[in-house]
Amino acid sequence: MTAGTIGLSEARLFDGQVYWVESRPQEQGRSVIVRMDQAGEKQALLSAEYSCRSRVHEYGGASYLPTPVGLFFVNHSDQQIYCVNQALETSRITSSSTLRFADLAYNKKNSTLLAISEEHGDKGDEPVNRLVAVDTASGEVTTLHEGQDFYSSASFSPDGKQLCWLSWMHPDMPWDQTSLWHADFNNDNTLGGAEVVAGGNDESVFQPEWSPTGELYFVSDKSNWWNIYRLIRGAAECVCSLDAEFGMPQWQFGMTRYGFLDADTLLTSYSHSGAESLATIDLNSGRLNDLDRQHSHYHSIRTEGGKYCLIAQSSTEFPAVYTGDLGSETLVCVSSTIPIDRAHFSIAEPISYKTGDDQIAHGFYYPPVHAEYQGMENELPPLLVMIHGGPTSATADSLSLKIQYWTNRGIAVFDVNYRGSTGFGRQYREGLKLQWGVADVEDCDFGVRYLIERGLVDKERVAIRGGSAGGFTVLAALAHTDSFKAGTSLYGVTDLTALATDTHKFESRYLDSLIGPYPQEKELYEQRSPLNHASAIQSPVLFLQGLDDKVVPPSQAEAMIEKLLANNVPVAYIPFEGEAHGFRKSETITRAFDAELLFYGSVFNFEAAQKEGKQAEPLVFL
């Protein structure tokens, strides 16, 4: 999970070469840009003092861009733009103490570099986002467009004369409502005739792209499903109508689900009922053709000159970067080189079940599996319910060692796509509107009952875990149901009022749609906050928290812990220095999983398995 594993993201094709970002736990979570040339040689492009990671919107993404004049990237420590030249010499382009950058775009016609900037002042005011041009010689930053709360996805037309981008305003999130802009890009690096050409009116637009012939394509959920459209004489025309999702929630910049193999053929991935497929679309007929591939999850799709690159994985294969064309595919880099017998892997069973208000919820059930061991005869396994973050996110049936860790040790896993999750259409996604802390909790509770009724798990040994928004659901479920005998909150939300008044700009109005506008609905915020229902929690709780977390500060966990201890609830708390929202260091990940296994062993009265020759640090209850 740590020593032999790296994170893979942001795959790109440029000039026949494949680029990607590796997040390396063994290097304190440093993110390194790697390139494979046409001869198959791989080379890391950043020296040890640099890490490629943007913090615009805190979640970043689209943190680098290869161009004819060099490789531009955002350095994590100072959030400034740097350039790596052909000799792999690195120089700084921008020098600002207040600006962060992300989502770079380049106009090769006049050598203009574009970016989304985020200005952080000294007075604690809300950061200001803009679409800007960056002079790569002087580092001067010039505003091209401002006045919107958020910007993303700037893209030049093939001739460099037109520009498109997305924007949205508070209180919307990008999966609620975005606007697609179009403007002429003048020779003096100014915009002409900027106007909104799609989006708005409760329509979420995702990934605008220019075709090789200069037509503007984009993904829209105006039909309930994120389908692909093109702009024809000012009107949006659906390319391929399907009850499936060709888009995804823009938690990060640079998320891509399609690209043009040529003027007539589009390569895309889409999801339906939690399963993903790779396909081509004939842009003349609109016919979709599923490709015969071994994978079940795809992202970072990029195309160039009839070739593609992407990151893919399956239920038994680790995430990997691939490149190729429709005739053949080459493995570029795999996230884990550790040989693991596939007989150790638990394969997900997709399940759908009735939940509150006679609605249908979804998830994946993983039975415990080990090639050499099996459970005691006539004994049902414990169950661990896993709650994804977001909450507008989704879980898939692709291989996750964070799930296999548990199933490999005799613990069944239920990975929930509660109402509000992505991949089931806008209507299902909006099932959590004003219902956060209610609908998600119901879906977890009803899912456990469903598995118990099927005779799959031990009803007396059910735990629940989740991070961030998932941590909120964990604590709410412990307070409002009797299904769960233990819970683990990883940097979870405990106080909705604090979250509404003390979080970063990107999510500062997110709760308007999940709970209601603040402070108008202050009473409802207090009513839904687990912190105010701590007296209803009787089950033991483990808290895992990064001390540098700006999204959900440590004060949230610590306030909850204080109340639980006052009620004599068994609590364990492990804070991690140098970790923010999500754990990146190998020692942190190892310590967190060791502690969580010991925690469940203590609650459910089993001895936690230890790696031979390695003794986990003891877990101490407060």
Residue with tokens 């109402």: 419
- Angstrom distance (rounded) from CA 601 to CA 544: 17
Radius of gyration (C-alpha) of the chain in whole angstroms:
24
Give alpha helix (H) positions in 324-437. Answer: 401-407, 426-429
The answer on pLDDT for 342 being more than 90 is: no
Read off the pLDDT of residues 428-446 as tens digits, 9 standing for 90 and up.
999 999 999 999 999 999 9
Cα 5 to chain centroid, rounded: 18
Read off the pLDDT of residues 356-404 as tens digits, 9 standing for 90 and up.
989 999 999 999 999 999 888 889 999 999 999 888 889 989 888 899 9
- Going through 169-240 in order, the beta strands assigned E by DSSP cover 179-185, 191-199, 205-210, 216-220, 227-232, 235-238
The answer on pLDDT for 164 being more than 90 is: yes
User: Which pLDDT value is given to residue 291?
Assistant: 95
- Averaged confidence pLDDT in the chain: 94
Q: Is 44-334 a CATH 2.120.10.90 domain?
A: no
What are the backbone angles phi and psi of residue 561, rounded to the nearest 5°? -60, -45
Q: What is the pTM of this model?
A: 0.91
* 541 vs 25 pLDDT, higher one: 541
User: Which pLDDT value is given to residue 584?
Assistant: 82
Averaged pLDDT, 57-81: 96
Pairing state between β 383-387 and 462-467: parallel
User: Which pLDDT value is given to residue 449?
Assistant: 98
For the chain, give every domain's residue range.
44-334, 359-604
- Asked whether this chain's domains 44-334 and 359-604 adopt the same fold, the reply is no
Averaged pLDDT, 447-474: 97
What residue type is 390 in one-letter code?
A: G
- Looking at the DSSP bridge assignments, the partners of residue 334 are 320
Strongest mean pLDDT among 101-105, 325-329, 506-510: 101-105
What residue type is 228 in one-letter code?
A: I
* CATH class of the domain whose range is 359-604: alpha beta
Between 61-65, 207-211, 607-611, the lowest mean confidence (pLDDT) is in 607-611
* 366 vs 292 pLDDT, higher one: 366
The answer on pLDDT for 273 being more than 80 is: no
What residue type is 266 in one-letter code?
A: L
The answer on pLDDT for 219 being more than 90 is: yes
- Angstrom distance (rounded) from CA 451 to CA 153: 42
Confidence of residue 293 (pLDDT cuts 50, 70, 90): confident
